[in-house]
Amino acid sequence: MLAYTLRRIAQLVPVVLVLTVAVFAFVEALPGSIVDTLIGTEGGDVEEARAILTKEYGLDRPVYERYALWLVRTLQFDFGNSLVTRRPISTELLSRIPATVYLAVVGIVLSIVIAVPLGTLAAVRRNSAVDYTAQVISLAGISIPEFWFAILCVLLFSLYLGWLPSSGYVSPLEDFWGSLQFLILPAAAIGFRQAAFTTRLTRSSMLDELSKEYVDTARAMGLPERRVIFRYTLRNAMIPTITISGLQFANLLGGTVVLESIFAWPGIGRAIFEAILQRDYPLIQAGVLVLGVIVVVMNLLVDLTYRLLNPRVKLA
């Protein structure tokens, strides 16, 4: 296991390098130079400022040297300053991470709470009304765009019924119960969509397990059906479900740009979206890189957990 873990970590290095090259190339591909953008906002002695900034940003050096310098600084979490707020990008991004993690955790937990019982019941009562309902719900969840679902929720619960605020955020550390009312709608929008995938997966892996021979043996020995399902099949069927939920969680950490924008949720996705509107290129670059690395590392953790949960998998 240790050798496997080390090898997987070693495999991470080229992947992260590809990521850094991609986001570096993105800024290189922008028209004009960053110096013009900076000077445009400050004024003063243009020529002198240009010379100083060109030197400071290393623009008089060849591309590969600049990439190396940028990489060294990036590895030290020094992403430079935001063009808009002038504050260090690393603190900007760090302050946004808690909100994103909060939303993603609640959304994923919600989806598992909905999906696992529904998927299990659908598999156990195959071709029953419950099964068809579960299939229709999961197909709907996959096909309905989450931003439309979010809008409809806002329309119903905020505008017509007036039960919940339509957008905003309160930190759970400041006011836990107050933060919940802001959390419900975005978390429900995430939970519904993720539950659609997870229900399908739980159903099909439960069906897979139920068709195995040990189930026949257990039943032949006279074990009650409840024990067969909860003690044996469900435990095995949970392995792929947990794995996929982990991967979805990793994706949610970087993929909630749309929902965070709709609900004015101050997460990292919204930070990147705002940076795009304000043309704050260094922030976009750093944000995408940070999210990419988070996703890669999360994927690795999920993979390792999967091996721990399921020792039968050969350590290939």
Partner 1 sequence: MSELEADKLVDIAIARHAPPTPRWTTRLAATLSNAWYELRKSRTASIGAVMLVLLFGACIGTPWLTTYDPIRQDYRARLAPPSEKHLLGTDRLGRDIYSRLLYGGRRLVTIAVVAVVFGLLLGIPFGVLAGYWGGLADTVGMRVVDGLLAFPGLLLYLLFVTLAQAYKFEGVMIDIVLVAALGLAFMPEVARLSRGSVLAEKQKEYVEASRAVGDSSVNIALCEVLPNIVSPLIVTATVRLGLVILIVAALSFLGLGTPPPTPDWGSDLSAARDYMETHPLIAAFPGLAICYTVLAFNLFGDGLRDILDPRLAER
| Single-letter amino acid, residue 304 | L
Q: Which of 130, 257, 264, 309 binds partner 1 (CB under 8 A)?
A: 257
Structure-token pair, residue 251: 């994706």
88: β partners: 81
- When the beta carbons of 147 and 230 are compared against partner 1, the nearer one is 147
What is the CA 100 to chain-centroid distance, rounded? 8
Considering the complex, what minimum distance in angstroms separates the CB of residue 101 from partner 1? 14
Q: Does 26 bind partner 1 (CB under 8 A)?
A: yes
Window 131-190: residues binding partner 1 (CB under 8 A): 139-140, 142-148, 151-152, 154-155, 159
264 is a site residue for partner 1 (CB under 8 A): no
To the nearest 10 degrees (0 to 180), the angle between helices 129-143 and 176-210 is 120
Q: Is 191 an interacting residue with respect to partner 1 (CB under 8 A)? A: no
- Closer of 63 and 276 to partner 1 (Cβ): 276
Helices (H) and strands (E) in the chain, counts: 14, 0
3-state helix, strand, coil in the chain (%, to 5): 80, 0, 20
Closest distance of CB 22 from partner 1, Å: 7
Question: Which residue, chain included where needed, has tokens 């959390």?
Answer: 183
Closest CB to partner 1 among residues 239, 296: 296
Task: Report how far residue 67's alpha carbon sits from residue 89's, in angstroms, rounded to the nearest whole number.
Answer: 18
d(CA 251, CA 294): 9
- Residues interacting with partner 1, by CB under 8 A? 11, 14-19, 22-23, 26, 29-31, 139-140, 142-148, 151-152, 154-155, 159, 204, 207-208, 250-251, 253-258, 261, 269, 272-273, 276, 279, 281, 284, 288, 291-293, 295-296, 299
